[in-house]
Each structure stands twice: as C-alpha cells, then as structure tokens.
Amino acid sequence: MIYHTLIKYSLFLSQFTNSANSCCQQVQLHLYAFKIRKMLELTQFCMSRTAQALPKLPLPALRDTLEMYLRCMKHLLTEEQFNKTQHVVQKFGAPGGVGELLQSKLMERRDKQANWVYDYWLKDMYLNNRLALPINSSPVMVFPQQHFKAPIDSLRFAAHLISGALEYKTLLDAHALPVEYARGQLAGTPLCMEQYYRLFTSYRLPGPERDTLVAQESSVMPEPEHIIVACKNQFFVLDVVINFRRLNERDLLTQLEKIARMADSKEERLPPIGLLTSDGRTEWAESRSVLMRESTNRDSLDMIERCLCLVCLDDASGLELNDTTRATLMLHAGGAAKNGGNRWYDKPMQFVVGADGCCGVVCEHSAFEGIVLVQCTEYLLKYMMGSPSKLVRAASVSELPAPRRLRWKCTPDIHKLLASSADRLQREVNNLDMNVHKFNDYGKEFIKKQKMSPDAYIQVALQLAYYRCHGRPVSTYESASIRRFQQGRVDNIRSATAEALAFVRAMTDGKLGTNDAEKMEMLQSAISAQTKYTILAITGMAIDNHILGLRELAHELKMEKPEIFKDEAHLISNHFILSTSQVPTTVEMFCSYGPVVPNGYGACYNPQSDHIIFSVSSFHESSQTCSAEFVKILVQGLLDMRDLCNKCNRGSNPTEQRQGQKLERHTQTDTKWQSKPPARPTDLTKNRQTPPQVLLTTPGQTKAEAQTQTSSEESDGDSKERK
C-alpha cells in the first residue's frame, strides 16, 4: 500500500516537475523527488527480500549430466560415433578422473559466486560470437501494422512511444517494477528481476576478439538523459530532460519534427555510419578503432553509447507489407539501400517507427531475454492504448533548443569500411528466408484439453516437421528460463528426445504400420519426456550449462582440452539446426529471430488460446532448408496431431467424438504420411523459382492497431550455436 502510494507520488512528481515554471520550483520538486526515490528504494529493498533470497543455481551431479548427455545423443549419432562417445564419456567420468576434478572446482565456484555459469554463459552465448548482430543474434518484436495517413502521424506515434518508454524508465529508476512470479510449469516461484535494469543502461561494445557488455551504474539523482533518434541515416541527440524538466509528449513531437526537417536537408547529410554496427563484430571493432582516431567521432560515439535507447524513424520500404516482410525488415532493415544505416545495433533497445507503419523493436540480446523485452514492450503498447495520444493538432512552436545532429569525420578509410559493411549486410539481406504463419486451426486451449503441455506439444510438432522435411532428427535448442535463480538467464531443453523420434517415425514412415492407439501412446510418451526435460531445465538441472561450465573451467585452468570436448558428438550436440523458443505475448505482436547455424532454422512461436503464430527463418544459401516448406509441413503435422488426438479421445466424449469425425473429414492427412515415405527422405532440395506458397496472413486491423494509432553462429569449433 505504502509502496504503491509512493510510486504514484513519484510519477505525479515527475509530471508536475514538467510543468513547473521557475528554476527554483523545479529544484525544490527535484529534491522532493529525490526523497521519494530514497523511500521507494528502501521499500523496494524490503519487498525484494523475497527476490534476493532467490536460491543459487544448483550444480547437477556429474554422473547425472553424463548419463543424460549419452541419452540425448544416442539417436543423433551413428552407432560408431556413439560407441566412441560412450567410451570418452566413461573415461571423463571415471572415479579420480578429469571430470571429478572439474566438478569439484565448479562446486567451489558455485559457493563463491551468485551464479556459477553466468559469466561463462554470457561469453559463450554472445560476447565471443563474431557474427553480425542483425539476423544472427538480435531478436525483434514486430508490432501490429500501423496505418499512418500523413508523415506527422508516424512522428506522433514515435512521441507517444517515447513518452511511454520514459514512464517505464521512471519505474525502473525507482526500482518500482513488481517482482514477477513464474507461470506455466511449476508456477508461483519469484523470478530474478535483474535483466530489467539493463534495458536502458547497457551497451555491447565490440572488441577484436570478444565484446564487452558495458553497464552504466544507476544513479540516484536524475542525470541529463537523452535518446538518439535515427532519421535518414543521421543520428540526433534528443535530450529528454531540459532544465530539470522531463519533456512531455507535445515537446517530444516538437523535437521530432525538428529532427525530421534537419534530416531532410540533403546538403548536411553525413555518411550512414550506423551501417558499420551491422557488420561482423571483429570488423566493427576494427572500424570503430578507425573512427576513434578523430575527436569528433569519439564525441558522437560517446553520445550514442550513453543514450537510453534509439528511436529509428524509417523511410517507407516500398515493399508490400505482410507479417513476413515486416519481420524481415525488422531483422535487417532492408540493407543499405533501405534503412540499414538507420540503426545502431550495439544498443539494447531500438524502437523502429516506419513511415509505412512497419514498427517494432530490435533488441541486442546479451543484456536480457526475449521475455523481458516482451514485458517492457507490452507495457509501452498498453500505455499507448490506455492513454491515446493527446496530440490531435501539430505541436505548437516551443523554445526548446533544437536537437543536435551527431557529426562524423570520415576519412577515405572509413568510406571504404562503409562500403564493405554495406556489401556484407546486403549478402545477409539476400540470404534471409523468412516465413511468418498464423496457424488458426487451434491454439493452446485445444492442447490443454488433451491434458498435454502446449509447449511440449508444439515442440513435438516441430520435431515432426523437421523429420518429415529431412528424414532425420537433429540437435535442438529450446530456451528454458532459469530466472528462478539468482542472475538466472536460460538453459537448453533438448527437444530431440528418443521418445519424440519414435513418435515422428510412426507418424511418417508408413511401413512401420503403427495403429492410432499406438501412435497416441507414443505422442503421450514424447510429450511426457519433453515435459520432464522442461522441468529439469527450469529447475537448473539440465545438462548444457553444466557441460559448458566444465569445459570453460578446464580452459581457465589451462588444462589440455579433455577428450569429451574434442569428440565429434560434442560438436554435433552444439550445432543447433533447430533453434526454437516460445515467446508468448498478451498484446498483438510477435517475436522473430534468425537461425543460429548456416543449415538451420530459427523457429519462434507464440501460442495463444485459439491460434499459434510461428516465425520461421532459414538461409537461402543452404540447399537443405526452406522456411515456406518447413511451415507447410509443420501445419500439416499440427493438423495430423489434432486428428490423432480427436480419434483417440472419441470414445470418452461424445461431443469431441462428433468434432473428431468432422475434423477427420476435413483433413484426412494422416494416411498421406503412412502410405508414402517422407516427401524428401534426405534433406530438402530447393527450388527457389517456385517456393511452395504457404499462407501468409495479413490480419485485418485489430483493436490493438486501432488503439495504438495516433490521430491522423557459425561459431568457433566448440562454442555453442543456439538462441
């Protein structure tokens, strides 16, 4: 109660400070705000004792992890590979062997550190990865299509969005975000909130061999804060606190209009330096050191690195916009010819507002997980829905100082670097093969009625799709949150279980002659195995983080690399051809990301009550993959799984029985897979001229759209490749 009153008072004060006239009044109000903040911090401190009391990430027993490793890999290896792996693993785990030594060191690390795997994991997952951030690392949230009637509308939308982001930042500064509690499996435990506090305060600094995640220390007194607005590849400093006063939405619109006018001036345009940030990390680190030779550039870089976030005012892409093209544009901005230079990929939060209504957020991933990004983005969209823009007319002329354009001194060397970055980005643009599909036949409610976990069911469907496309199972990554623990990020649910393989074979290989009841049993067994693994992962007992910890510790101790990490199975296990993640939303939007290996798929899904949004990505350069084909086969598999459930549950419920018969007539596809082998028993061969056309849904304008409208790895040998 006290806490909520304090928050309200703090928000009220920040608004009131905006309207204070004299400097004296403003200083007085800031002193009040300072005291309230202190009280809030104290209250938050007491409240967050629960969160601080979060347990440390447990360390699984060595034997359990090694046994599970063998179990996970057996069906992904040839017999010969597996026999060798079994031998290597036994040697590693033998009493008095290397494994025991490393495990004892890991136990010491667990005792000393808040989270024994966090640093290792961060470097392995992100900071060591040399691949360019767009597509390969930075996920995006795609907003509902906006319908801007005039250029001013997109600026109004941006002003409204910034206003919401500043309000959210006020909550963060006051440490006023309520502690979250787990939902779904093992619901109810408090979650670590640490990632939220990096949303607007961190920066991924490129390095020649490894990047650094720089975090600004939070300060109690408000500092002059600014955001960077990118417009026509130019970068502008938009101060959001002027004379101790936080700008309101009308001020923000005034400033954005000035920026748009300044960006229009062709004579003053500077080269698209942002393109450099879209390059490989080593290339960008080198270009940055060239830029740093000039003091003008150093100042500009400093302003960008210290900003709260970017707002990218994009030109219209000229493409026909549907879910797939909007996801694609959000992932790579269309290359240098479109908005590719209108980005700064090192910054965690880049809000994109396209003149053609293509809007969303691009996120640098090392600082936080997609779920945190979703929570923040949903807050902003709800803020915009809940407080429709007041800016009916254009903003009045204000005395605010004009935003500052960031200057760049460009030598011929820099021009050459820009040309190479543009070329490399264009290759990435040409290579991305996206397909976003809204599966409308059913959603998680149908699955829950089958008394199955929706997440596990969708994972089994993804296994079925891959097997039907390629005739084999592959190492699969599914992110599992470990925020139940201090500094928890994610571990991996290895969804390519032996049980899933048995099911997908039965559903695909007609010659096995499995009947429906047997298939249903296999489906249940696959779902049960997947659910059990999920529980292991979310309780910190999965194997990937543990194996990573053992490997990194051996490296740190300068030991000769143990055989287990040189073994082919270790490479295969970390080559995640299927990189999957559930990113659910409560507001209409969806998440997309790229594949993590050249011959892989990125498969992100957003389960809703009566539909599921899938965002599937792959690379055109791989002759083995095709996103549209994968989606088509995935949809077919989901229909087949539903039919199987309906057929097998018919006996128990007469209504469902009738439904089942109707559905059976409707699809009748199960037999298709039984009567003939998979369409392509080995890998897919592409036919780029005539890609199979699968539903590309362009949903009609939704409530959310209407309301948000304003008035008019390919990594080094053994590092992991995953999402």
Q: Which of 26, 453, 625, 708 binds ligand COA (CB under 6 A)?
A: 453
Under rule CB under 6 A, residue 502 binds ligand COA: no
Question: For residues 662 and 675, what is the distance between their CA atoms, to the nearest angstrom?
Answer: 22
Question: For residues 302 and 336, what is the distance between their CA atoms, to the nearest angstrom?
Answer: 24
Q: Are 462 and 634 in contact (CB under 8 A)?
A: yes
Under rule CB under 6 A, residue 455 binds ligand COA: yes
Q: Which of 193, 452, 603, 641 binds ligand COA (CB under 6 A)?
A: 452
Instruction: Tell me, yes or no, if 470 is annotated catalytic.
Output: no
Q: What are phi and psi of 605, to 5 degrees?
A: -135, 150
**CA proximity to 588, closest of 704, 710, 440:** 704
Segment near ligand COA (CB under 6 A), from 266-274, 427-435, 451-459, 676-684? 451-459
**CA proximity to 319, closest of 158, 145, 141, 156:** 145
Q: Which of 184, 224, 401, 681 binds ligand COA (CB under 6 A)?
A: 184
Contacts for 146 with CB less than 8 Å, ≥ 6 apart: 154, 157, 357, 358, 359, 705, 708, 709
Segment near ligand COA (CB under 6 A), from 192-200, 363-371, 557-565, 632-640? 363-371
CB of 139 to ligand COA, least distance (A): 6
CB of 545 to ligand COA, least distance (A): 13
Mapping DSSP onto H, E and C, the string for 528-570 reads: HHHHHHHHHHHCCCCCHHHHHHHHHHHHHCCCCCCHHHHCHHH
CB of 723 to ligand COA, least distance (A): 6
Helix (H, G, I), strand (E, B) or coil at 601: strand
Q: What is the DSSP letter of 224?
A: -
Segment near ligand COA (CB under 6 A), from 74-82, 178-186, 201-209, 421-429? 178-186
Q: How many residues bind ligand COA (CB under 6 A)?
A: 21
**CA proximity to 175, closest of 214, 219, 226, 213:** 219
Tokens 């890999």 -> residue: 73
Which 206-265 residues touch ligand COA, going by CB under 6 A? none
Under rule CB under 6 A, residue 183 binds ligand COA: yes
CB of 135 to ligand COA, least distance (A): 15
Segment near ligand COA (CB under 6 A), from 283-291, 419-427, 446-454, 555-563? 446-454
Mapping DSSP onto H, E and C, the string for 114-126 reads: CCCCHHHHHHHHH
Under rule CB under 6 A, residue 490 binds ligand COA: yes
Q: Which is nearer to ligand COA, 146 or 534 (CB)?
A: 534
Which 366-405 residues touch ligand COA, going by CB under 6 A? 369-371
Question: For residues 196 and 372, what is the distance between their CA atoms, to the nearest angstrom?
Answer: 6
Contacts for 452 with CB less than 8 Å, ≥ 6 apart: 524, 527
Question: For residues 697 and 59, what is the distance between their CA atoms, to the nearest angstrom?
Answer: 45
Q: Which is nearer to ligand COA, 25 or 524 (CB)?
A: 524
Segment near ligand COA (CB under 6 A), from 338-346, 389-397, 478-486, 562-570? 478-486
Compute the Cα dihedral for 365, 594, 586, 457 and give only its sign: negative
Tokens 């099911």 -> residue: 503
Under rule CB under 6 A, residue 525 binds ligand COA: no
Question: For residues 136 and 226, what is the distance between their CA atoms, to the nearest angstrom?
Answer: 28
CB of 305 to ligand COA, least distance (A): 24
Q: Which is nearer to ligand COA, 403 or 602 (CB)?
A: 602
CB of 582 to ligand COA, least distance (A): 4
Segment near ligand COA (CB under 6 A), from 365-373, 545-553, 572-580, 677-685? 365-373
Tokens 């309200």 -> residue: 8
CB of 332 to ligand COA, least distance (A): 18
CB of 144 to ligand COA, least distance (A): 20
Q: Which residue's CB atom is positioned nearest to ligand COA?
A: 184
Which 540-559 residues touch ligand COA, going by CB under 6 A? none
Under rule CB under 6 A, residue 454 binds ligand COA: yes
Alpha helices (H) along 265-369: 281-291, 295-305, 323-332
Beta strands in 301-410 (DSSP E): 310-314, 349-354, 359-363, 404-405
Which 572-611 residues touch ligand COA, going by CB under 6 A? 581-583
Q: Are 338 and 272 in contact (CB under 8 A)?
A: no
Q: Which is nearer to ligand COA, 389 or 481 (CB)?
A: 481
Indicate which residue of 30, 175, 332, 365 is catalytic. Answer: 365
Active site residues per annotation: 365
Residues at the interface with ligand COA (CB under 6 A): 183-185, 369-371, 448, 451-455, 479-481, 490, 534, 538, 581-583
